[in-house]
């Protein structure tokens, strides 16, 4: 359902990825690790088609990067939930409206929006902060809003870029618990992370990005 | 449902970017007031000018031996000409008086008590006959009538007035067009800047899967509303200003209601187009 | 050293916020061109008007029995009056011709071949003596001279011209002041918006320990430069436009170099003050 | 040299800190831990005087929060290096200029700036990215720029808000190594973090913020 065939991509002067191939099946849970600057975020951006490969082809659901029309990209993105590394919350509206926006975009009726947003807010533990503006939230709270927004329209795959970077270990575990639940109900998950502790506690298939390519898939026990 | 949501979003835009919205509206208000005021003044002054100088008068000197019945018959014939608006009899005494008014009280002294003027008819031409050729045609027609001695009209004066009016109109149109052009640019620029200040928001919307239409619509609606509010404020300002001018300098000043219609139409159009084109740049795919 | 750095930062601001800077400059350019063009046209037209109608002419009718030497002595005495610019002899034939010009070619027919006019002197008053009271004083002085029969001047005409000129001046000043006021507002608003779009940058500078002066200075310098560039462009535009107008409609049009000085001064001042006051809001401590 | 006396502060409707006291001595290294939203960032903001307490007093060097004049705040901030949780890089200039800015502010001469900036960039391993704009850097690279900027003018105390949140464990250890070096040369460090692994590897005095107050100082071994 998600496949990358021999992807190469250059950003600025840097060859970020070189001949990368990857396949994620329906309902899989995959970790993506690798040093700072190794290209994890870039790989995720390729999947939600914010950048396009110089060579190779990205296939997501029925869309292919080499044939997709610009006006179809929004529809692809609605099927893919993204937790951005820098959150990307709309600074001009409150927590509730930020999350609701992802549903308004697909034209969901007001009542569905309300119940879905409130339920997902409860799940990430931010029900009481729903009328706050993002810039008044702590780093961890903002991250949880980002998670809630990615979940709210029940995507078939969730791309999580460092979703626990600003969370304390307890909350991080809670979030991972949440992600596993979602995964169990059929949503595939691709999660870029630096938190090896977490991988050890919740082991899944783990890909290592190194020198612009997947050097290997490793066993969680190997992690330093 | 969907439309209602986009409309609400458009209105919410005001709250979300208050400074930007305020400044957009202010720009529209100020620019449109300027355009409106300028147009109004030019319109008023040129109308006044036309009223004062736009009707040509002819002096038709007639045979001093004419009797009253004949004179009235002549008046009737002149009145029937297509170019003529009104005819009035002027006795030699009245002519002398008019000369006195124009050339000072003491013309009589200069003329040593004599009145050299024959009786005459004052003929006022219709507004549409203010051009030189048409005047000349009318003069010929009257001259051809019996008992008409001579027809006099101020050819130089007509030329002069026509010329000044023409220059004035060109200058006013140039200034007006420049004001309009500049205002349009300023409004577009301001809207562009306000949308630029929200480019992060637009970028995030894109990434969350909003279609171009869905992103654009609220901005365009907001632009339209800004245009509407700005032009209503401008209409108010124009109304106030015209009231003041009427009270102090230009007693006859009135605003045709078309002005308000024009201001609102322009404001809405500029707000709409400005935001429509500005946002295009931030939407690649 | 420090100053040099702040200057460099000010210039770097252009590159860092290209759209904002461009639009600021465009606003300044457009507004100042408008102001300049309007002022120039009003200035030119009023100067032309004054040249045409600003000098009062008197007709001094003199004793028909006067001889040439006496007449020249009289001319000399009139010439010596403070109000008088020039004196010229007009024979009865010339007077008749003038009347003919004003009232049509066939005045002679009307007057039945007689010339009723006495000889006269045409007296042109100095520009400073265009007001009604001064004219009347001059008329009295001339009237008191021997061999002067009568002095005639067009009182109504003077009143009319004065009144139209006055109204024209008031209208032009009102429009001009409005344009200036609106332009200032627009420039300030644009600068405010460009600075608003950089409020994150200002906030970060604060947090990194920059003093108010250190944050402000580059913005103010940038504003000043924008004002300078904008006003230079406006000067160029004005020059071009005046060239075009001169070529097609207003042959005598010239721009005093003070205009360019004024435009640059205004541009710099507005850019400087606009950015100085706008940035204040984003600096609490 | 840094003291908080009975600080209470409310933000919006929330009482974030209540009667907090704290003393950090010259050259100390202190960790600050606590759940998401417990007030760690707020406590750091109090120290660099971005917010002021409702009650109580903050003393930093010779400055006191109750008597400081607004125009003196910049001078306090120059003595305190801050690594912001959200980096706060100037988006309109490149990496080099971002770091140089902290020195330009204090009027350092051009040559000092150049050598200091290049040396600190080398220390955080970003020498080769010095002409890149921040938004073109990966999350971890941005974080290292933020660290470099906080270090460059040799502050007497360094406030680090989650400085390793976006870094892989190896780089995180390198950064902590760097911070310990800096600490050894006399700079005090107060570091808010969720990374208990790191605390266990580099143990220092550790404060726990809970319910708006310090519940206790804990032993690194205790950490879950
Ligand atoms: N637009 C761009 N122009 C130039 N270089 C870029 C651009 N975008 C990313 N890069 C570079 O590409 C490399 C990969 O970036 P990416 O964000 O994918 O890394 P990452 O694995 O997500 O790192 P991190 O763990 O720090 O988030 C980085 O070195 C970055 O500087
Ligand atoms: N300006 C504000 N208005 C209202 N509430 C605020 C404001 N700033 C912070 N808060 C609230 O105060 C609490 C403490 O925030 P703070 O940023 O200090 O937490 P933190 O310990 O740094 O959390 P994290 O580990 O997630 O970064 C949070 O619940 C936050 O929502
Ligand atoms: Mg990344
Ligand atoms: Mg925090």
pLDDT per residue as tens digits for the range C77-116: 888 888 888 888 888 888 777 766 655 555 566 666 677 7
Residues D101, C208: C-beta atoms closer than 8 Å:
yes
Q: What confidence score (pLDDT) does residue B269 get?
A: 95
Ligand 2 binding pocket includes D38 (Cβ within 6 Å): yes
Ligand 1 binding pocket includes D137 (Cβ within 6 Å): yes
- Per-residue burial over D25-54, b = 16 or more CB atoms within 10 Å of its CB, e = otherwise: eeebbbbbbbbbbbbbbbbbbbbbbbbbbe
Other C-beta atoms closer than 10 Å to the C-beta of B39 total: 19
Can you tell me whether residue C89 is helix, strand or coil?
strand
Question: D159 vs C44, which has greater pLDDT?
Answer: D159
Could you read off the pLDDT of C193-247 as tens digits, one per residue? 889 888 899 999 999 999 999 999 999 999 999 999 999 999 999 999 889 888 8
Q: Read off the pLDDT of each residue in C244-253 and give the average, rounded to a whole number.
A: 82
Which residues are CB-contacts of B245 (< 8 A; sequence separation ≥ 6)?
B41, B253, C174
Can you tell me whether residue C151 is helix, strand or coil?
strand
Contact yes or no for B20/C193 (Cβ under 8 A): yes
Other C-beta atoms closer than 10 Å to the C-beta of C279 total: 24
Give, for ligand 2, the residue of A121, A138, A175 to mutate: max count of ligand atoms closer than 8 Å to Cβ: A138
The percentage of residues in chain C with a pLDDT greater than 70, rounded to a whole number, is 90
Residues D37, A138: C-beta atoms closer than 8 Å:
yes
Distance, C-alpha D176 to centroid of its chain: 13
B71 pLDDT band, cuts 50/70/90, is: confident
Cα(A143)–Cα(D166) distance, integer angstroms: 13
Cα(A19)–Cα(A6) distance, integer angstroms: 4
Residues C156, B189: C-beta atoms closer than 8 Å:
no
Judging contacts by C-beta atoms under 8 Å, the chain A residues touching residue D169 are 194, 196, 224
User: Does B267 score more than 90 pLDDT?
Assistant: yes
Ligand 1 binding pocket includes D141 (Cβ within 6 Å): yes
User: Does B280 score more than 70 pLDDT?
Assistant: yes
Ligand 1 binding pocket includes D26 (Cβ within 6 Å): no
Q: What confidence score (pLDDT) does residue A217 get?
A: 76
Residue ranges of the alpha helices (H) in chain A? Answer: 40-47, 73-79, 95-104, 110-123, 139-152, 169-184, 196-201
Ligand 2 atom nearest to CA at D39: 18
- D71, D84, D105 ranked by CB distance to C209: nearest: D105
Inter-CA distances, B233 with B229, C180, C215, Å: 6, 19, 36
Cα(C58)–Cα(C142) distance, integer angstroms: 10
Q: Is B23 on the interface with C (CB under 8 A)?
A: yes
Q: What confidence score (pLDDT) does residue A116 get?
A: 96
Can you tell me the ipTM of this complex? 0.85
Sort residue C136 into left (φ over 0), alpha (ψ -120 to 50) or beta.
Answer: alpha
**In this structure, are strands A80-83 and D213-218 parallel, antiparallel, or unpaired?**
unpaired
Other C-beta atoms closer than 10 Å to the C-beta of B62 total: 23
- Per-residue burial over A91-106, b = 16 or more CB atoms within 10 Å of its CB, e = otherwise: ebbbbbbbbbbbbbbb
Q: What confidence score (pLDDT) does residue B88 get?
A: 87
- C150, C185, C196 ranked by CB distance to B26: nearest: C185
Q: Read off the pLDDT of each residue in C162-190 and give the average, rounded to a whole number.
A: 84
Give, for ligand 2, the residue of D9, D11, D160, D166 to mutate: max count of ligand atoms closer than 8 Å to Cβ: D11
Q: Which of A112, A113, A130, A109 is nearest to A121 (CA)?
A: A130
Residue ranges, chain A, pLDDT below 50: none
Contact yes or no for B87/B78 (Cβ under 8 A): yes
Q: Read off the pLDDT of each residue in C31-50 and give the average, rounded to a whole number.
A: 86
The CA angle D133-D139-D143, to the nearest 5 degrees, is 80
Question: A109 vs C50, which has greater pLDDT?
Answer: A109
Cα(B28)–Cα(C40) distance, integer angstroms: 26
Tell me the pLDDT of chain B averaged across its residues. Answer: 85
Structure tokens at A19: 């001949």
Cα(B210)–Cα(B217) distance, integer angstroms: 11
- Please tell me which of A209-223, B125-139, B221-235 the model is most confident about, judged by mean pLDDT: B221-235
Ligand 2 binding pocket includes D12 (Cβ within 6 Å): yes
Tell me the pLDDT of chain C averaged across its residues. Answer: 85
User: Does D183 score more than 70 pLDDT?
Assistant: yes
Task: Report the length, in residues, of chain B.
Answer: 285
Reported pTM: 0.84
Q: What confidence score (pLDDT) does residue D149 get?
A: 96
Structure tokens at A199: 């991988």
Q: What confidence score (pLDDT) does residue B54 get?
A: 67
Q: Read off the pLDDT of each residue in B191-219 and give the average, rounded to a whole number.
A: 91
C16 pLDDT band, cuts 50/70/90, is: confident
Judging contacts by C-beta atoms under 8 Å, the chain D residues touching residue C12 are 93
User: Does B9 score more than 90 pLDDT?
Assistant: no
Q: Is C198 on the interface with D (CB under 8 A)?
A: yes
Q: Which of B11, B23, B15, B5 is nearest to B219 (CA)?
A: B11
Classify residue D220 by its DSSP letter.
G
Cα(D21)–Cα(D3) distance, integer angstroms: 7
The residue to which tokens 């190779």 are assigned: A56
Tell me the pLDDT of chain D averaged across its residues. Answer: 93
Ligand 1 binding pocket includes A40 (Cβ within 6 Å): yes
Residues C103, B175: C-beta atoms closer than 8 Å:
no
- Which chains does chain B touch, 3 or more C-beta pairs < 8 A? A, C
Question: B102 vs D159, which has greater pLDDT?
Answer: D159
Give, for ligand 1, the residue of A8, A40, A159 to mutate: max count of ligand atoms closer than 8 Å to Cβ: A40
B103 pLDDT band, cuts 50/70/90, is: low
Could you read off the pLDDT of D33-80 as tens digits, one per residue? 999 999 999 999 999 999 999 999 999 999 999 999 999 999 999 999
Could you read off the pLDDT of B149-173 as tens digits, one per residue? 888 777 666 776 677 777 778 878 8
Residue nearest to atom 7 of ligand 2 (CA): A136
Q: What confidence score (pLDDT) does residue B63 get?
A: 85
Ligand 2 binding pocket includes A166 (Cβ within 6 Å): yes
Q: Is A96 on the interface with B (CB under 8 A)?
A: no
Q: What confidence score (pLDDT) does residue C113 get?
A: 65
Residues A75, B208: C-beta atoms closer than 8 Å:
no
- Greatest distance between any 2 Cα atoms in chain B: 100
Q: Which of A94, A115, A91 is nearest to A103 (CA)?
A: A115
Q: Is C170 on the interface with B (CB under 8 A)?
A: yes
Least confident of A78-87, C44-53, D89-98: C44-53
Question: B229 vs C103, which has greater pLDDT?
Answer: B229
Q: Which of A121, A177, A186 is nearest to A148 (CA)?
A: A121
Cα(D219)–Cα(D204) distance, integer angstroms: 9
Q: Which residues surround ligand 4, an ion (CB under 5 A)?
A: A 138-139; D 41, 85
Q: Is D139 on the interface with A (CB under 8 A)?
A: yes
User: Does B105 score more than 60 pLDDT?
Assistant: no
Interface of B with A in 12-71 (CB under 8 A): 12, 16-17
Ligand 2 binding pocket includes D45 (Cβ within 6 Å): no
Q: Is B190 exposed, middle or buried (0-12, 13-18, 19+ CB in 10 A)?
A: buried
Residue ranges of the alpha helices (H) in chain D? Answer: 40-47, 73-79, 95-104, 110-123, 139-152, 169-184, 196-201
Q: Which of D220, D147, D224, D158 is nearest to D191 (CA)?
A: D158
């Amino acid at each position: 359902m998600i496949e990358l065939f021999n992807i190469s991509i250059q950003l600025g002067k840097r060859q970020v990825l070189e001949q990368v191939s990857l396949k994620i099946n329906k309902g899989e849970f995959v970790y993506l690790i690798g040093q700072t600057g190794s290209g994890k975020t870039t790989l995720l951006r390729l999947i939600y088609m914010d950048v396009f490969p110089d060579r190779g082809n990205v296939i997501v659901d029925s869309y292919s990067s080499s044939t997709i029309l610009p006006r179809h990209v929004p529809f692809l993105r609605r099927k893919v939930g993204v937790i951005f590394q820098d959150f990307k919350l709309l600074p001009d509206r409150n927590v509730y409206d930020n999350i609701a926006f992802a549903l308004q975009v697909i034209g969901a009726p007001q009542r569905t929006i309300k119940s879905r947003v409130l339920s997902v807010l409860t799940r990430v533990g931010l029900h009481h902060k729903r009328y706050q503006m993002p810039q008044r939230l702590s780093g961890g709270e903002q991250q949880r809003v980002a998670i809630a927004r990615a979940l709210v329209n029940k995507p078939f795959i969730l791309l999580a870029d460092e979703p626990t970077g600003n969370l304390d270990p307890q909350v991080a575990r809670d979030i991972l618990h949440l992600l596993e639940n979602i995964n169990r109900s059929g949503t595939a998950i691709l999660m870029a992370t630096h938190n090896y502790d977490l991988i050890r506690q919740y082991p899944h298939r783990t890909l290592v990005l190194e020198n612009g390519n997947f050097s290997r898939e490793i066993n969680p026990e190997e992690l330093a | 449902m969907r439309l209602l949501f986009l409309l609400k979003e458009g209105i919410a835009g005001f709250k979300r970017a208050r400074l930007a919205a305020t400044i957009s509206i202010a720009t529209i208000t100020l620019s449109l007031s300027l355009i409106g005021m300028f147009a109004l003044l030019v319109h008023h002054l040129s109308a006044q000018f036309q009223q004062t100088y736009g009707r040509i008068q002819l002096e038709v000197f007639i045979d001093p031996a004419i009797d009253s019945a004949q004179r009235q018959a002549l008046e009737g014939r002149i009145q029937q000409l297509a170019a003529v608006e009104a005819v009035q009899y002027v006795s030699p005494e009245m002519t002398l008086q008019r000369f006195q008014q124009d050339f000072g009280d003491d013309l009589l002294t200069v003329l040593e008590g004599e009145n050299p003027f024959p009786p005459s008819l004052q003929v006022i031409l219709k507004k549409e006959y203010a051009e030189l050729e048409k005047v000349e045609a009318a003069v010929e027609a009257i001259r051809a009538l019996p008992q008409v001695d001579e027809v006099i009209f101020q050819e130089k004066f007509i030329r002069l007035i026509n010329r000044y009016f023409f220059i004035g109109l060109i200058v006013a149109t140039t200034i007006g067009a420049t004001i309009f052009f500049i205002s349009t640019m300023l409004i577009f620029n301001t809207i562009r800047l306000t949308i630029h200040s929200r480019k992060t928001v637009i970028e995030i919307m894109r990434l969350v899967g909003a279609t171009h239409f869905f992103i654009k619509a609220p901005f365009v609606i907001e632009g339209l509303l800004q245009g509407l509010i700005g032009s209503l404020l401008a209409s108010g300002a124009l109304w106030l200003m015209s009231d003041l001018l009427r009270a102090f300098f230009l007693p006859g000043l009135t605003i045709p209601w078309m002005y308000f219609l024009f201001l609102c139409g322009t404001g809405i159009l500029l707000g709409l187009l400005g935001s429509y084109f500005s946002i295009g740049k931030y939407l690649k795919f």
